[in-house]
Structure 1
Amino acid sequence: MRYAVQAPSAVVMIRPHAFESNPETQADNAFQKSSEATDRTIVAKQAFEEVTQAAQSLVQAGVRVHLFEDDGQQKTPDSVFPNNWFSTHAGGHLAVYPMYSPNRRRERRQDVIDALKADYRVQDVIDYSGLEPDGLFLEGTGAMVLDHISRVAYVCQSQRAHPIVLERFATHFNFEPMAFDAVDLHGRAIYHTNVLMCIGTDFALVGLDLIPDVKRRAQVQDRLAETGREVIALTAAQIAEFCGNAIELQTPTGRVVALSTRAMAALQPWQIEAIERSARLLPLHIPTIELAGGSVRCMLAGVHLSARWPTNPLTKNAVSLGE
């Protein structure tokens, strides 16, 4: 069915025990803010609690959550954003990605992959991480926003999305790549596409004004519109408030769109009405997490796989919620 293709009903989350804003990613992530003014222990505790509350809210909404712990021993400040290092795809496929920042490469976890294999039908794992020594990167569904229905991969061109890796992904997973330049109000390149765009089943949120090439902007808009979706334009100011960093999820009672309370507050009433014609908005309060330059979409790695067991999963290293 159409609804099952775009909106996953389960997600992977990582709960950090030593969260902090990553100094290695600050140079090209204009959304990132330093947390130096606040005690690190307090920041880490706040982030831990925010992830805990977000997971509980998702479960209450009917989403299945696989919650893994990051004890901080590997020094992975951005581990709360697992959607960058792996993605899953219908038909039993899983991709592992090459990461730009060296300390983010430590986020890749075999136990997460093994848990997914235990709970879901995984046919193969395609690992692109061996391209890192060649300086070739593609940071998962941060770098790409995927239209799973029309098989289009939308990509902001940046050092975190190399065209060679994108082409390989598109070939392996049968997506049409659609790359474009995007910049913020200060002319800085947008580091990840998923802060600019969210594709749901019946709508698309996109910061069209941040695509400077007028012709390419129109092509992106038309490509989204020809799928039958309502294209909801976001302003640059709304993008800065993470309005584009949302994800549509499937629940037993219908679809929801998970986003942050900060993003929700920045949406216009007409935009909320347009989204809620097909999906209920589910705001999550994560102000500490957002200091790291990502929001709700970055925190949730969607599971587009067929479950082996709808209940009683075999996952050993995660708390599986929402059975």
Structure 2
Amino acid sequence: MIRPSVQAPAAIVMVRPYGFKVNTETAQDNAFQSHIGAAGPDIARRAYEEHSAMVAELEHHGVTVHLFEGENTDTPDCVFPNNWFSTHAGGHVALYPMKAENRRLERRPDIIEFLKTRYRVQDVIDYSGLEMDGLYLEGTGAMVLDHIERVAYAVGSDRTNPIALERFCTHFNFEPLVFPATDGNGVSIYHTNVLMCIGTDFALLGAELITDSARRHHVIARLKASGREIINLSAAQIAAFAGNAIEVQGADGRLLALSQTAYDALTTDQIARLEQVVSPIPLSVPTIEMAGGSVRCMIAGIHLTPRGSAAPPQALA
């Protein structure tokens, strides 16, 4: 269980929220988002404290966290960096086109430059120019990547354009597997990473929410062929962010980072099955979840090779 896995990054990037509030620009197609119009210093303080506690807990378990501070109140979703960039074995970085205009402001050259100093980066492929043509692909929110089998699972939506997806898959050697999905109320799923999580030896999947039966069977068959234990999630569990989790590498083995909300929604049997292959780490982030994303959305995994003389990780202001 402690062997390294290309699926489970040992280092991650997180961005602490600044002036946190629910993003009104993304509310139209994110049914997971709260519609109470949350804002104000109390909400921002709670989000900041939740994020800080999450960072501390992950570091306690031996995960390297490269922590950056949010910069201004014009980027209410900056706490979700996995949507604007991803990293890949071989030294590759991708920058993604975002649907909401204020989310495009989240892209930060300083984070990419930091990665270049700490890791071996060969190239940065920038897809953000596709925004001008209305073609969006919101990173590892829009795609759930199987780094082992090289499959990019993607729910079709306005945030996952097929042309942009095809370009990414061609450049990064993934096979696209696109399918339609709706939540328990029949509303289209906005991001794939709320529906499923792929670990080294397991997969969490809201299979019943995939509306095309042929595609549903195809997704299940591909996951089974990879030898993974498939844990099916109900619509209610998906609504509680049980699919929005990520496997990371800790000091003593692989961990499943998920929210306390998600963990509490799992059954005793599901938890027991997970514990056979990974150690679940519940993290309390209820305020941040009001913005429509949970633990997975807050983590950008680093799949790059560290430079030999890298300095110790540090938080950057």
TM-score (norm 1): 0.95
> Counterpart in 2 of 1:273?
272
Cα distance in 1 for residues equivalent to 2:192 and 2:39: 31
Note closer, same or farther for the CA distance 1:204–1:314 as it changes in structure 2 (3 Å cut).
closer
1:82 Cα deviation from its structure 2 partner:
0.1
Corresponding residue of 1:57: 57
- Matching residue's letter, 2:48: F
Q: Please give the alpha-carbon distance, in whole angstroms, between the structure 2 residues aligned to 1:129 and 1:8.
A: 25
Q: 1:256 to 1:72 in 2, by over 3 A?
A: same
The CA distance in 1 between the partners of 2:128 and 2:103, in whole Å, is 12
Aligned-residue offset at 1:215: 1.3
Give, in whole Å, the separation in 2 of the partners of 1:202 and 1:211: 22
- The equivalences for 1:47-196 within 5 A come to 47-73=47-73, 75-196=74-195
Asked if residue 220 in structure 1 is aligned to residue 219 in structure 2, the reply is yes
Please say if residues 18 and 71 of structure 1, whose CA atoms lie closer than 8 Å, have aligned partners that are also in contact. no
Letter in 2 for 1:238: Q
1:176-229 Cα distance to aligned partner (Å, 9 max, x none)? 000000001221110000000000000000000000111111110010010000
1:33 partner SS = coil
Matched pairs, number: 316
Q: What root-mean-square deviation, in Å, do the aligned CA atoms of Structure 1 and Structure 2 show?
A: 1.5
Q: Secondary structure at the match of 1:154?
A: strand
Structure 2 stretches of 5 or more lacking a match? Answer: none
TM-aligned CA deviation for residue 175 of structure 1: 0.1
Report if aligned partners of 2:66, 2:313 keep a CA contact under 8 Å in 1: no
Check whether the contact 2:80–2:299 (CA below 8 A) recurs between aligned residues: yes
Contact 1:15 1:80 in 2 (8 A): yes
Q: Distance in 1 between matches of 2:302 and 2:3?
A: 16
Q: Percent identity?
A: 59
Task: State the secondary structure of the residue aligned to 1:6.
Answer: coil
- Counterpart CA distance in 2 for 1:80 and 1:39 is 15
Q: Which amino acid aligns with 2:56?
A: Q
CA–CA separation in structure 2 for the residues paired with 1:130 and 1:185: 34
Contact kept, 8 Å, 1:145 with 1:155, in 2: the verdict is: yes
Distance in 1 (CA, whole Å) between partners of 2:47 and 2:83 is 19
Structure 1 residue 84: Cα displacement: 0.1
SS in 2 for 1:11: strand
Amino acid at match of 1:15: R
Partner SS, residue 48 of structure 1: helix
How far did residue 313 of structure 1 move? 4.3
Moved over 4 A (4+): none
CA distance in 2, matches of 1:105, 1:300: 18
The amino acid that maps onto 1:88 is T
Q: 1:132 to 1:186 in 2, by over 3 A?
A: same
What secondary structure, in the 3-state scheme, does the structure 2 residue paired with 1:256 have? Answer: strand
Cα 1:3–1:166, aligned 2, differ >3 Å: closer, same or farther? same
1:15 corresponds to 2:16: yes
Q: 2:254 aligns to what?
A: 255
Q: Match for residue 40 of structure 1?
A: 40
Matched, 1:289 2:288: yes
Deviates more, 1:158-167 or 1:2-11: 2-11
Q: 1:252: Cα distance to partner?
A: 2.2
What residue is the counterpart of 2:235 in the other structure? 236
Q: CA deviation at 1:318?
A: 1.8
Structure 2 CA distance for aligned equivalents of residues 29 and 46 of structure 1 = 22
Decide whether aligned partners of structure 1 residues 42 and 153 sit closer, same or farther in structure 2, where only a CA change above 3 A counts: same
Structure 1's unaligned 5+ residue stretches are none
2-structure distance, mates of 1:186, 1:266: 18
C-alpha deviations, 1:143-197, integer Å up to 9, x for none?
0000000000000000000000000000000000000000012211100000000
Q: Separation in 2 of the partners of 1:134 and 1:311?
A: 39
* Counterpart residue identity of residue 24, structure 2: P
Q: Aligned letter for 1:248?
A: E
Q: For residues 11 and 314 of structure 1, do their structure 2 counterparts lie closer, same or farther at Cα, with a shift above 3 Å needed?
A: closer
Equivalent in the alignment of 1:318: 316
**Distance in 2, Cα, partners of 1:310 & 1:282:** 31
